[in-house]
Structure 1
Amino acid sequence: MVATENMAPPRLSVEGAGIVVGGGVFVVSGLVALLSFWGNDLPIAGPGSVGQFAAIAAGIVAFLAYATGRLWHRQGLTPFETSAGRGSGAARAPGVAGRATGADIFDTFAIALAFGILALLGWLVLGAVLADGFQDATVYFLSASVIAGAAIGVTAYAVFLASAGMDLMRLSTVLAGFAVIGILTAMLSAPNPHWWMLHLSALGMTRSISSLTFNLTLIIAGVIVTAIARYATDARGIEDPQRRAAVVRVRVGLILIGVLLACVGIFPLNVSAVLHNVSAVGMVVVFALVVFWVRAALPEAPRAFFTLGYTFFGVIVLMLVFFAIGYYVLTAAELVAGVLVFSWLIVYLRMSGAAVARAR
């Protein structure tokens, strides 16, 4: 009885572990930064800066912290709690540990990589903003070491907690943040400031960090969409054959959207115009099909969700018509279509996650 009363609640236990992880990373990274910066005054951003050091280290630490957070539950490298071969919303016997499959490990790696790149780009952008606010300022090596250690430690703490509590609904937020920060970083760092006069794909056509960021963002976002498709469309336990078939169709559609999104980044327009355009157009076509398939696959979703999908589809068609008649430039049509497709995917993940939570 005494032992039970002294046991910390699970959430507090995870928070305590997060503090240990963040504090340990703060000390270690601060010491490494101190040895690297010793005796030098560093710029805030740019090559050899405190911002660059913090961003690179935070990216590596975020990747490792996500894996550590998943292992905290002793389920193996599973992406989140509803995996490990038991299906979304399926019950598990108390005390039975999950076992990660090869697909689970791959999915976990993809999500961890997204966290790593998100941390890298996030701190790079913040460093650039601070550098603009403190023009020509430098940072003493002691202060730089503390700042870098704090940034890396906070990253480890936040990612560990996010990983330990990861589910479909939280993953939708990560996917949105990753895509937005990746695309914005590519836009802000584009060597041609007038890239928008051509098309959105122009961001991926140069041999620059901007193009690498743009294409890598699309590839990893596509891998994540493909990876989570099987968790968001689990057909096990569905006895109605028609609904089961609808769920399978939606799963195939989501996988195709993820694959085609990745192909848009794998085949930039200057590498293969045919493959790039087929991937981009195919993604929109498959999205249209999924929007009309999802009602039979997720009938418990609110009517507003289905109306939203039909509205998004109509707006995309309207944007394409505007482009065809010359009212909109291609960049505007691509941005609107891309934002709407991604927004619907994120809302769908939240709907699916809510359905899973209700089924438990």
Structure 2
Amino acid sequence: MADLNRPAAVTSEARALYIGSGAFIVLGAAAFLLVGREPVPLSGRGSAGEISALGTAVLGAVAVVAGSLQHRPPAAPEVRRVGRIRNAIDIAALALAHACTFLVGWLALFAIFQQAFMGAVLYPVAAAVLVGTTGAISAYIAYLSALSMTAYRLAALLAVFLVSGMLASMLTAQDPLWWQEHLSALGASSDISGVAFNGTLIVAGVMITTLAGYATSALRATAENQSALRRAWWLEGAIALLGVFLAGVGLFPVDENFWIHTLFASGMAIAFGLLAARIRDLVPSISVTFGVLGWVFLTVIAAAAVLWFPVGYYNLTAVELIAASLIFSWLIVLIRNLAAVDADQYDGTLYDVEQEGASLYAGEQQDAVLYGAAASQDADSYEPAQQDTASYDPGLYDAEKEDTALYDAYRQDAGLRGGEPNGTARKDTSLYEAYRQHADQQDADLLARPRPQPGDSMDPPPATAADRTVSGP
């Protein structure tokens, strides 16, 4: 369980630094052992650039796997619920994409360095430090990229990977006039150019299938009915189909399997056309502008095809470059628009929750007002009772109790003296009269006595002679 007292972002950065430091040590030590005692060039066969490119590809892939296994879904509703097999394919695609990007990127960068520093060589220690630094940077970036991977970032990674892979294939082509035939001629050779071209298409196809899951997960999660859920599944299937067709183009080079290669290329164009034409039906909440953009791209591709055949204005390579550029540009923009739709839905959900919380708070405030009114009414009823209690005189109560005791004593005495065995005798009322006189006198004394004040002595007054006389037997 994560430490709740430590922010998650700080923990992620700390882990990324650990991974980067480990990559620096591993790749630096490997470079020091591989270089030996002789100086090496920046670029070329057996160079520091080659060691760096291969090492960062491996370490970057490992860092992506580590980050993907620790990936936590963000607050937005892009929570993906997929099976283990699909999840493993997605992680493998991300790792492969990062590895290929690092491979091509560092090769190109070291080639530029070699052109900038003509004739420069690196000694073993300097080569180990430089190569280790590239490993640390790559592992650090790859770990954080996988840890917070979203549709936005995956679309950006796809664009960078496609551009870098295609440029690497074009720059390393042995035939400088390859463009006079068609774009697929880059993959017809068995050299590094063909491997880069076909490998880029295969990995990009797998990345697109991964993008399909990322881009439509929120649409599936927020579907309000079966119709919306079916539209989300259709959209995911169409995007994934584009990735399958693209990977098929790379798996079957044109010089070895012409008809299969052509079938996959044509299928990708048809799938794009259907998806661009029906995108507003599949995602009604997407902008009208994006829907119009799809029709514009389709019109441009059709016009380019007509200019190639039958007009013959330019060759097939130009049509393929135009079509590929527009298709991948539209796909990347589609991913970003779907992510924008998800963000709007998430903001709307947050607004509804806040409104509900505000309603509950208003209800609680109303209850508090009603409670305060009831408490005030109770306080108003309590004040007269307090006034009655304040006007209570303990002396009068004690006098009443004493009168009652005297009367009870008289009644008891009269009952003992009043009966004769042979008839009713006249009762003696002298004792009763004495008791009555004593009670009247005591009442008068109580009425004439001043009301006690706080701090006055509570001791009873001394008995008078009359009191001692009456209280005798």
Residue 323 of structure 2: aligned partner: 337
**1:121-148 Cα shifts (integer Å, max 9, x gaps):** 1111111121222222211111111100
Q: Which runs of 5+ in 2 are unaligned?
A: 347-473
Q: Distance in 1 between matches of 2:55 and 2:302?
A: 43
Secondary structure (helix, strand or coil) at the match of 1:263 reads: helix
Q: Distance in 1 between matches of 2:265 and 2:343?
A: 33
**1:148-186 Cα shifts (integer Å, max 9, x gaps):** 000111000111111111011110001111111111100
Matches within 5 A, 1:121-160: 121-160=104-143
Residue 59 of structure 2: aligned partner: 61
| Number of positions where the alignment pairs a residue of Structure 1 with one of Structure 2 | 340
Write the letter of the residue equivalent to 1:29: L
Q: Distance in 1 between matches of 2:209 and 2:238?
A: 10
Q: Distance in 1 between matches of 2:54 and 2:189?
A: 23
Residue 89 of structure 1: aligned partner: 77
Moved more, 246-255 or 60-69: 246-255
Residues 247 and 294 in structure 1, CA contact (< 8 A), matched pair in contact too: no
Residue 314 of structure 1: aligned partner: 299
Matches within 5 A, 1:257-268: 257-268=242-253
Residues 150 and 214 in structure 2, CA contact (< 8 A), matched pair in contact too: no
Secondary structure (helix, strand or coil) at the match of 2:223 reads: coil
Secondary structure (helix, strand or coil) at the match of 1:36 reads: helix
Residue 100 of structure 2: aligned partner: 117
Residues 169 and 354 in structure 1, CA contact (< 8 A), matched pair in contact too: no
Report the Cα offset of residue 28 of structure 1: 2.3
Q: Distance in 1 between matches of 2:198 and 2:162?
A: 11
Q: Distance in 1 between matches of 2:79 and 2:158?
A: 27
Q: Specify which of 87, 90, 100 is matched with residue 104 of structure 1.
A: 87
Q: Distance in 2 between matches of 1:118 and 1:180?
A: 10
Report the Cα offset of residue 27 of structure 1: 2.0
TM-score, normalized by length of structure 2? 0.68
Q: Specify which of 256, 271, 284 is matched with residue 269 of structure 2.
A: 284
Q: Distance in 1 between matches of 2:173 and 2:82?
A: 44
Shift in CA distance, 135/91, structure 1 to aligned 2, threshold 3 Å: closer
Residues 243 and 296 in structure 1, CA contact (< 8 A), matched pair in contact too: no
Matches within 5 A, 1:190-229: 190-229=173-212
Q: Distance in 2 between matches of 1:49 and 1:253?
A: 44
**1:290-331 Cα shifts (integer Å, max 9, x gaps):** 012211222222222212211111111111111111112111
Residues 78 and 214 in structure 2, CA contact (< 8 A), matched pair in contact too: no
**1:239-268 Cα shifts (integer Å, max 9, x gaps):** 344444433332222122111111111111
Residue 157 of structure 2: aligned partner: 174
Q: Distance in 2 between matches of 1:239 and 1:299?
A: 13
Residues 319 and 333 in structure 1, CA contact (< 8 A), matched pair in contact too: yes
Moved more, 128-137 or 226-235: 226-235
Q: Which runs of 5+ in 1 are unaligned?
A: 76-80, 83-87, 93-97
Q: Distance in 2 between matches of 1:191 and 1:105?
A: 37
Residue 30 of structure 2: aligned partner: 32
Rg larger for: 2
Residue 47 of structure 1: aligned partner: 45
Residue 183 of structure 1: aligned partner: 166
Residue 236 of structure 2: aligned partner: 251
Q: Distance in 2 between matches of 1:184 and 1:334?
A: 15
Q: Distance in 1 between matches of 2:267 and 2:92?
A: 27
Q: Distance in 1 between matches of 2:83 and 2:26?
A: 30
Residues 152 and 339 in structure 2, CA contact (< 8 A), matched pair in contact too: yes
Matches within 5 A, 1:234-249: 234=217, 235-249=220-234
TM-score, normalized by length of structure 1? 0.89
Secondary structure (helix, strand or coil) at the match of 2:274 reads: helix
Q: Distance in 2 between matches of 1:323 and 1:242?
A: 42
Report the Cα offset of residue 14 of structure 1: 1.2
Q: Does 1:302 align with 2:287?
A: yes
Residues 250 and 293 in structure 1, CA contact (< 8 A), matched pair in contact too: no
Q: Distance in 2 between matches of 1:348 and 1:320?
A: 24
**1:67-96 Cα shifts (integer Å, max 9, x gaps):** 1112234x6xxxxx37xxxxx92679xxxx
Residue 85 of structure 1: aligned partner: none
Residues 244 and 297 in structure 1, CA contact (< 8 A), matched pair in contact too: no
Shift in CA distance, 293/246, structure 1 to aligned 2, threshold 3 Å: farther
**1:106-134 Cα shifts (integer Å, max 9, x gaps):** 11111111111111111111111212222
Report the Cα offset of residue 99 of structure 1: 8.5
Q: Distance in 1 between matches of 2:235 and 2:142?
A: 30
Q: Distance in 2 between matches of 1:279 and 1:90?
A: 31
Shift in CA distance, 328/241, structure 1 to aligned 2, threshold 3 Å: farther
Q: Distance in 1 between matches of 2:173 and 2:16?
A: 37
Secondary structure (helix, strand or coil) at the match of 1:327 reads: coil
Residues 54 and 103 in structure 2, CA contact (< 8 A), matched pair in contact too: yes
Q: Distance in 1 between matches of 2:195 and 2:26?
A: 30
Q: Specify which of 9, 12, 16 is matched with residue 10 of structure 2.
A: 12
Matches within 5 A, 1:65-80: 65-73=63-71
